[in-house]
Structure 1
Amino acid sequence: MDNRILKEANKLIKEDSLTRTNIKGVHLYKTTTFLPRTPLTYDFCLVFVLQGKKIGYLPNRRFEYDCNNYLVVPAALPFECETIASKEEPYICILIDIKKELMHDVISSLSKEDSKKCKLVQRAVFSDKVTMDLEDSIYRLLKALQSKEESAIIGDAILKEIYYRIAIGENSHFLHKMFLENKMEAKMTRTLKTIHNQYNEHLDISTLAKEEEMSVSSFHTHFKKVTTLSPLQYIKKIRLNKAKDLLTRQNFQVNETAYATGYESSSQFSKDFKSYYGYPPKEAKASFVII
């Protein structure tokens, strides 16, 4: 990323934390602390790193996003992440929630030639290269964010431009397919959203498959291609991520957290939580969102 972009971002960031901006769904984040491999969940967003680096981990896959490579998460996806940061070189990023209607408008307007340029990417998370055109769009977004008036008047136009730059990226195949109703990527994205919204309810895999007019075996196969996890593994990780949020941000007790996240047994919840995070739920500490 160009140094002028980092300079504009620092005008908006007040301290090490998550900073809201004048455009809803656009945040800045800064930390000077190295964070070891830690579970987290992203949901339908773009991450542009201006300084520092993140290393993401999925089963059998490791990927980096930094000043030269942005991250796209077209669906709620739990994975593990390491943050490279220090006082001398803080980790700074822009997090942009993807507005589905706006992205759909962009994708549906693309020519067939633009769509054909994309590589086949099946997983619901991918990184791509930062281009000079994208840098220019991000710079103008940061300038606009410094004014409520500019943010209100031209904010969506700049976001749409950024979406376009993402949509014509080399690895944006999955993003294209998820907006086509009958495509397998779109079916899996709808399923992930259902799980994300109903994690505290009983979720039957055969019912989820039936809702997308799929056999259970086909559903399992395509679900794992997209997430690298089985449906049951995905549901468990979503529940545990939600549980940590309840414990650290809303001061829930362990028992009520277990039942609020769909567990029938508090002891099983505690066992799963410790296995996932490395410490028992009663030791969960309040913290900022790790971006």
Structure 2
Amino acid sequence: MNENQSEMISLIKKLAPSQGYTQSILENITFMRVDQALESMQTLYEPSIVIVLQGEKHGYYLGEKYTYDAQNYLVVSVPLPFSVETIASSEQPLLGLILRIDPLILAELVVDLSDYSETLSGQSISALYASPMDICLENSVYRLIKALSEEREAKILAPSIYREILYRVLVNEQGQVLRSTLYQNNSFGKISKVLHYIHNQYQTKIDLDYLASQANLSIPSLHVHFKAVTSTSPIQYIKMIRLHKSRLMMIQENTTVEDAARRVGYESTSQFSREFKRLFGQSPMDEVKKMKSIFTLSPSS
């Protein structure tokens, strides 16, 4: 561990003093801390960059294992449910930060990087990937954490460093996958648009004909390309998003099971509970109790 890494861990411990998630002063950045090993559990990541400074996480998606730790960061290019396990302990807690990808800043950077926009033909595309942490990105993360440790610097300097980190990720050898989410002339970009729509409109009735028209695809083509990106059908993906969102409501807002079911579009609470248990392995009340004991969202200090 070099001097910068040691200082980042010390600062993160102060910025995230308790287990769970702690909101930073900057809206798009959240600190995370886990003080115990956690078995594989279902999670939902918005488009984000996950940087681990201490400890280790393993993500499982489409039969692949993605390790993100002090040497590798994770990029999730579209809203995606997948399984995650955590390696941590009270002596060596997992410490890190999640940078939610701002679509407007991403679009601005992609336009500025138009000269670097290679085609994706012949390349395999995954909705998430792990990449090695290089020295340039590590230095950017170091400066970001230092800026977020002081209120004035957090407000003035942190936004530009956040933008710099997005740039670093985009110019990485795998950054083309993230750039491709904005390209509407390839299937990955079309499905990305559909996923973002579902993520934002999950509480409403979502029509497959409308999704297909948004992607400029036939319904059969929508199913084929959708499954290639998400490993599931549009209907099953919508269901998973609604169940994940309901879990967040019950954890963060103390919403009742009945109200959470109604808010995400279920008319039958019993059907909601059955499908919830099928996805998470236990009843809504038991799952929420467990998650509250592990993950809380604390305000910025």
Match of 1:103 in 2: 106
- In the alignment, which residue of structure 1 is the partner of 2:177? 174
Aligned amino acid, residue 216 of structure 2: E
Partner amino acid for 1:199? Y
In 1, Cα distance between the equivalents of 2:121 and 2:214?
A: 29
Find the counterpart in structure 2 of residue 229 from structure 1: 232
Find out whether 1:66 has 2:63 as its counterpart: no
Q: Match for residue 221 of structure 2? A: 218
**Aligned position for 2:203:** 200
Q: 1:126 and 1:193 mapped to 2: Cα distance?
A: 18
Match of residue 19, structure 2, among 16, 28, 42: 16
- Helix, strand or coil for the counterpart of 1:63? strand
Higher relative contact order (CA 8 A, sep 6+): 2
1:133 paired with 2:136, answer: yes
1:29 Cα offset (Å)? 1.1
* Residue of 226, 240, 257 corresponding to 2:260: 257
Match of 2:251 in 1: 248
Q: 1:119–1:68: structure 2 CA closer, same or farther, 3 Å change rule?
A: farther
AA matched with 1:144: A
Give 1:260 deviation, angstroms: 1.8
Identify which of 20, 39, 54 aligns with 2:42: 39
Q: Which digits, 9 at most, give the CA deviation of each residue in 1:181-206, with x for residues without a partner?
A: 33322221221111112212222222
Q: 1:114/1:216 Cα in 2 relative to 1: closer, same or farther (>3 Å)?
A: closer
CA contact (8 A) 1:46 1:73 kept: yes
Q: Is the 8 A contact 2:62 2:231 kept in 1?
A: yes
Pair 1:159–1:252, CA change in 2 (3 A): closer
* One-letter code aligned to 1:29: M
Number of aligned positions between the proteins? 290
Q: Is contact 1:119–1:173 with CA below 8 Å preserved after alignment?
A: no
- Cα distance change, pair 127–121 in 1 and its aligned pair in 2 (3 A): farther
Shift of 1:111: 5.6
Task: Confirm or deny: 8 A CA contact 2:117 2:176 kept in the other structure.
Answer: no
The residue aligned with 2:159 is 156
Q: TM-score, normalised by structure 2?
A: 0.88
Aligned to 2:33: 30
Shift of 1:49: 0.4
Q: Which amino acid aligns with 2:51?
A: F
Deviations 1:236-261 (A, max 9, x none): 11111112122333333333322221
Pair 188,114 (structure 1): closer, same or farther in 2 beyond 3 Å: closer
1:274 counterpart (277, 290, 293): 277
- Percent of residue pairs bearing the same amino acid type: 34
Match of 2:8 in 1: 5
Tell whether the 8 Å contact from 2:19 to 2:296 is kept in structure 1 after alignment.
Answer: no
SS state at 2:95 partner: strand
CA RMSD of aligned residues (A): 2.2
Query: Aligned partners of 2:247, 2:30: CA distance in 1, in Å?
Result: 21
- The amino acid that maps onto 1:57 is Y
Report if the CA contact (8 A) 1:121-1:173 is conserved: no
Give the corresponding residue for 2:58.
55
